[in-house]
Each structure stands twice: as C-alpha cells, then as structure tokens.
Structure 1
C-alpha cells in the first residue's frame, strides 16, 4: 500500500508544481503567494511519503486531497485534477491493502 500511495503523492508533487506555474498568470496573485502555498503543498507531498506507515499518515493524505480539490477555487482545472488524484488516492489505499493481504497470505503459505 505504501508504494502505491507514495507514487500518487509524487505525482501530486509534480501536478502542484505545474499548477503553481499556471497560477502565477492569474491576476491578483503574486509569485510569492503562489510559491508559498505551492511549496508548502509540495513539501507535504514528500513528507507524507515518509509518514504513510505511521498513524495518521493516510488521514493526512486525505486532507491533502481535499486541499487539492479546493485549489480549484483559484484554478478551475484543479477541481478535475483534484478529483482524479482523490480517486487515485482511494484506489492506492484500497488496492494496496488487497496486495498487502495477498503478499501476507503467500508468505504464510510458503513458510
């Protein structure tokens, strides 16, 4: 599960970076504001990769997904991309757990 979730977070890292480039073109937003918000979100993606095995790591990932969807208020395209990554996050957790269970069953059978 951790591998799938970390892959999703790294994909989000890049999407947030590219969204920051697009957001700089929005009137009323300064480059400093855009990169402060984008930089924090990008750092959270990387930090969450390390927190996935700890208590609250998955919940923090859901908070990040909600923030990504909410960024659609600034860039409307992010409503769509946020929903896509929220679905990927769910799939990473759901199917990752199934893979972990199958690995554990296989290890028990071979032992």
Structure 2
C-alpha cells in the first residue's frame, strides 16, 4: 500500500505546484499567500510519503485530498483534479491493502514450503 500511496502523493506534489502557477494569475491573491499555501501543501505531500506506515498517516492523506478539492474555489480545475486524486488515493489504499495481503500469503506459503522440505 505504501508504494501506491506514495506515488499518488508525489503526483499531487507536482499538481499542487502547477496549481500555484495558475493561482498566481488571480489578481485577488498575493504571490506570498499562494506560495505559502502551496509550499505547505507540497511539503505535506512529501512528508506524508514517510508517514504512511505510522498511525494517522492515511487519515492525513485523506485530509490532503479534501484540501485539494476545496482549493477548487480558487483554481476551478482543482475540483476535477482533486476528485481524480481522491479517487486515486482510495484506489491506492484499497488495492494496496489487497497486494499487501497477497504478499503476506505468498511469503507464508513459501515459508511453509521450505520448512516442509
């Protein structure tokens, strides 16, 4: 699960950066505010890659997904991209857990096979 979720978070890192470039075109937003918010979100996406195996890491990832969707109020395309990344986040967790369970079964079967021989 960790590998799939980390891949999603790294993709979000780049999308947040590009959304910051788009947000800079809004005359109502100052550059300092845009890059502070984007910088914190980008840093969080990278830090979450290392926190996925810790308690609350996945929940913080969900919080980041919500923030991405809500950022659509400033950059309308982020409604769509945030929803896409939320779906990717769900799929990363869902299928990642299935892959982890299958790997554990295979390792157990391999261990039983080698101990029987």
TM tier, smaller: over 0.9
Unaligned segments of structure 1, at least 5 residues? none
Give runs of ≥4 in structure 1 deviating > 2 Å: none
1:72 aligns with 2:72: yes
The 2-side partners of 1:26 and 1:87 are apart by: 28
Unaligned segments of structure 2, at least 5 residues? 112-117
What TM-score do the two structures reach when normalised by structure 2?
A: 0.94
Give the CA deviation at 1:65. Answer: 0.2
Name the Cα RMSD after superposition. 0.4
Summarize deviations over 1:6-27 as a string: whole Å, max 9, x none: 0000000000000000100012
What TM-score do the two structures reach when normalised by structure 1?
A: 0.99
The 1-side partners of 2:27 and 2:35 are apart by: 15
1:5 aligns with 2:14: no
Give the CA deviation at 1:98. Answer: 0.2
- Greater C-alpha Rg: 2
